[in-house]
Every structure is written in C-alpha cells, then in structure tokens.
Amino acid sequence: MKKSKIGIVGAGPGGLACAMILANKGFDVTVFEKSDEVGGRNAKISLGNFVFDTGPTFLNMKFILDEVFGMCGRKSSDYMKFTFLDPMYQLSFDNEIMQMSSNKDEMKREIERAFPGSQKGLDKFYSRERKRFDKILPNLRRDFSSFFSFLSPKVLGALPYVFARGSIYDNLGNYFNDEKLRICFTFQSKYLGMSPWECPAAFTMISFVEHEYGVYHVHGGLNKISKSMKKVIEEENGIVRTNSVVEKLVTKGNKVIGLKLEAENSPRFFDEVVLNADFGYAFSNLVDPGRLKKYSPEKIAKKKYSCSTFMMYLGVDKIYSSSPHHNILFAKDYRSNIDDIVNGRLSKDFSFYVQNASITDNTLAPNGKSTVYVLVPVANNFSSIDWEKEKLGLKEKVYQEIETRTSMIDLRDHVEVEEILTPFDWEKDYNVYKGATFNLAHNIGQMLYFRPHNKFDELNNCYLVGGGTHPGSGLPTIYLSSIITAGLIAKKNGLKL
C-alpha cells in the first residue's frame, strides 16, 4: 500500500517528533522551516562562540522523549548526552532559599530546615499527586477529536482529577500551610504561562513529575534534541528544508491539498498536512480569509492566552561556579507580580529565572567563560506595554536584581555579548501570536476536548502538533501531541504505531 505524502509546517519540537515517527513508518515526509535553524522555540541561538537555548531549558518527563526515539528504533542516549540534576533548582525568596530535590529524603530535610513541621505534607503530596498523574497521563495520550472520546471509562474515571476544584495554589494547601512553601510547588504553572492562583489544580502533577522523575540537562543545550530529531528524520529518508517560508495552506473545498511556499510560484501537493506553526498565527495568516468559522481570526483573538517572556542571553568572560544551574527568584510580593502580568502591567517588583548551565556543561562557551540565560515572565501583547520604550529600563533592573540577589555580583562588568528578546520580538521574529510564548492558556475551557484538536475540525487532511493543540504546551506534552497526530495519520493509512 502506497503511504501518504506528508507536508509539515514548522520544525519545532512537535513537527520534528511527528516527522521522525512518520518517516520511520515509511511515509514520504517533508518538513518546512522558515528559519535557518530547526527547533522553533527550542532552537539554538549563537552569539559568537556562546550557545544558548532560545526557550526551554528544563527537560522533565524524559521518558516521553525516550519513547519518541524508541518508536523509531533508537535510543536518545545514542544522539545526546544527558546529565541528571540534583538539586533540580534553587528557589530564592527575599529572606529564604530552597534547594529543590527529586530525592525524597533530601527534600524532607530541606523542608524541615526552612519550614519546621511541614515536611510531613510531602508524603501526602507524593501519594495524592501520583494517583492524579496515573489517572491523567493515559488521557494526555488520547485523541480528543471526537466528543465521544469523553465517554470512555478511563476518561470518565479521570475527570474528577482533571476538573478538581480550585487552583494549583489552592490544591497545595492540602499539603502545606506556609504560602512560600506552597509557591515552591506551584511555580511550575509558569511552564503553562499561567498564574498559580488561576491555573487548574490538575496541573499540580507537573510539580509531582519533577519530584518523581527529576530534571535533566542536555549537553549543548536542549536545542540538541531538535538537531538529533532532524538527524533521525534524514536517516529515515525524510526531508527537512530550512529557510522555507510557508505562505499559506492550499485548499480545495474543505480539504487541504498542499502548501504554497513564499519563494516558489507553484504549490507543493500533499496527502496530509501537519501544522506545527504557532496556533494563533497559523489560523490568522495561513488560511484564506473567510474560510474558517470556529477558528476565524476574530474568534482566535477572543481566546485566552499565556503570558510572554522578556529574555536576556549573556555571554560572560568568567564562570560563576557558586551559582546553581537553575535559579528561580521570586518577587517580594509574588501575588502582585502575577496579577500585574495577568492584567497587562509591567511589574516594578518582578520574578525571574537565571540559568547558569556552564557549571554543568563546558560546551556552551569558550574555556573559562560561560553563558547566562535570563527569563522574566511578563504580559503578552494584548497589553499596551511599549517594549521599545521599556526594554532598556527593564534590562538594567534585571541586572541590578541579579547582582543584588545572586552570587553574580559583578555580572555587568563581565558581559561580552548580549541579546534581548521582548514580547514584540517573539511576535515579529518567531510568529508567536501576541507574543504568548506558552501558547493558548490551559484554563478548563481550553483543555482536552475543548483545546484545538489534533485532527483539525474545520479542514480535512489537516492535523496539529505543538503547544496549541491537545495535550498542551511544554516539551513532554508537545511530544505527546506528535505521537497522537502521527497515530491518527498512521491509522488513516491502515497502520498502527
């Protein structure tokens, strides 16, 4: 049986993982990427001899990545070098520092040191959240393109865990009374671009999987995952075309039949098209006006979106050996900071993340030098913040906070190269809708069946992967979206993954 010809728009994590799986099954796969680097928000940034990840720097749920490679008859460890990080990261408040560990005994000791009497809540956290995870994970693997998918016993049995009352912060109150200790287990909502006071309680499982399975660093940066996936695709006779801008989807009636590339006069025809472009951008720009109703540009604009990020990539002429690999520093009033972001204001008192990966990985910078990666969660471009006006002031405030609150007390004196990325840049240069770097928000009305489906509703032969479809944003869930979509295409062709 002749297998379908597949065109994939975007060489982000979702597009690459889907292409890997389909190419391994014998499909004729071509991936089109507008940039000269694969990876999208998981691509490499090179500043001279310094190498940075554009976006994600945490690898958790590594077993999902291993599964994707395993589906192609390969081991991820044959393509990349991994280092298990423990402690996973350091959390800093104005008057307290916590070393967060995936070693349960170490974590208990650290809680008892900082919050005496609270360590007993950790056992309850593990027990209850493991049960939630075990119930929900199978449903993150499920295709929700049909409402009937809600009627299976496994889904119905998981619904109380998915639609649990309250927020992540509320849920952590079942385990810990102290506000700061709760925040230690709720900040992961930033992976979804949401407030822990709004993010559904179901997502407490993100914190659980970090503590249960740990966090890894990929040598050379997480961008090596994208490069490794490209290598597998090409080993399987698939094609990855960089510097190839897709102008629009070619349709015939309700069916997608191909892709029109910006640099080519004639369209390229495909049996199936997979979109790994940012969801809001894709359906506001790649489809002829008037074609869509449920996901028209006007309705897309009314969806709820994640926050954005203000990024600083710094090449430094020294190594800060006393600063941990991953550092999260909270605003003095974390709740107010989050409220500012949700309401489109630029906080004077902000939280931020600093990665000092060169203490683990000497391949990122020249000998004796290091990379410092800084991320500040900020409002997306639905706000009225003028980033051309504000970016230099915020940059200086970030430098001041780093030098005051970390061991990098002389950072500005040692920066050799610097690049800044604002929400405007995310939107303009990366085609991220409204600069919402974590895509559609993960509120109850935009989860499972209610999130855009892997098999797109309004156009036949059109499939989605990435953070804008089920099961959601974050590398592990994006890989799951690729497994689901590849499975749907395989099934249509009489195959089972």
Q: How confident is residue 151, by pLDDT bands cut at 50, 70 and 90?
A: low
Distances from the Cα of 478 to the Cα of 85, 242, 315, 422, 438, angstroms: 22, 21, 29, 23, 11
Span 178-198, pLDDT tens digits: 999 999 999 888 777 788 998
- Confirm if 53 and 45 have CB atoms less than 8 A apart: yes
For residue 149, pLDDT over 90 is answered with no
Residues 65 and 152 in one domain: no
100 domain-assigned: no
Residues 333 and 394 in one domain: yes
CATH number, domain of 206, equals 1.10.405
- Residue with the larger pLDDT of the pair 1 and 497: 497
Residues 196 and 126 in one domain: yes
Out of 7-11, 136-140, 369-373, 451-455, pick the least confident: 136-140
Q: How confident is residue 150, by pLDDT bands cut at 50, 70 and 90?
A: low
Residues 315 and 377 in one domain: yes
Rounded to the nearest 10°, the torsion over CA 365, 366, 367, 368 is: -70
Span 290-345, pLDDT tens digits: 999 999 999 999 999 999 999 999 999 999 999 999 999 999 999 999 999 999 99
pLDDT at 448: 85
CATH number, domain of 48, equals 3.50.50.60
Contacts of 473 (CB under 8 A, 6+ apart): 191, 192, 193, 306, 438, 439, 440, 442, 467
Residues 323 and 288 in one domain: no
124 domain-assigned: yes
Total of domains in the chain: 3
Q: How confident is residue 468, by pLDDT bands cut at 50, 70 and 90?
A: very high
Span 115-145, pLDDT tens digits: 999 999 999 999 999 999 998 888 889 898 8
Residues 342 and 410 in one domain: yes
Task: Give CA–CA dist 497/493, Å, rounded.
Answer: 11
Pick from 126, 21, 124: nearest CA to 64: 21
Contacts of 73 (CB under 8 A, 6+ apart): 24
Residues 295 and 363 in one domain: no
CATH number, domain of 322, equals 3.30.519
Residues 269 and 294 in one domain: yes
Distances from the Cα of 408 to the Cα of 96, 261, 284, angstroms: 18, 46, 43
497 domain-assigned: no
Task: Give CA–CA dist 429/275, Å, rounded.
Answer: 18
87 domain-assigned: no
97 domain-assigned: no
103 domain-assigned: no
Task: Give CA–CA dist 490/264, Å, rounded.
Answer: 29
Residues 64 and 130 in one domain: no
Tokens at 230, concatenated: 């490209």
pLDDT at 190: 73
Span 74-97, pLDDT tens digits: 999 999 999 999 999 999 998 899
Residues 335 and 237 in one domain: no
Domain end position, chosen among 433, 453, 483: 433
Residues 130 and 235 in one domain: no
Residues 312 and 299 in one domain: no
Out of 67-81, 277-291, 350-364, 436-450, pick the least confident: 436-450
Secondary structure letter of residue 443 according to DSSP: -
201 domain-assigned: yes
Domain interval for residue 201 = 108-212
92 domain-assigned: no
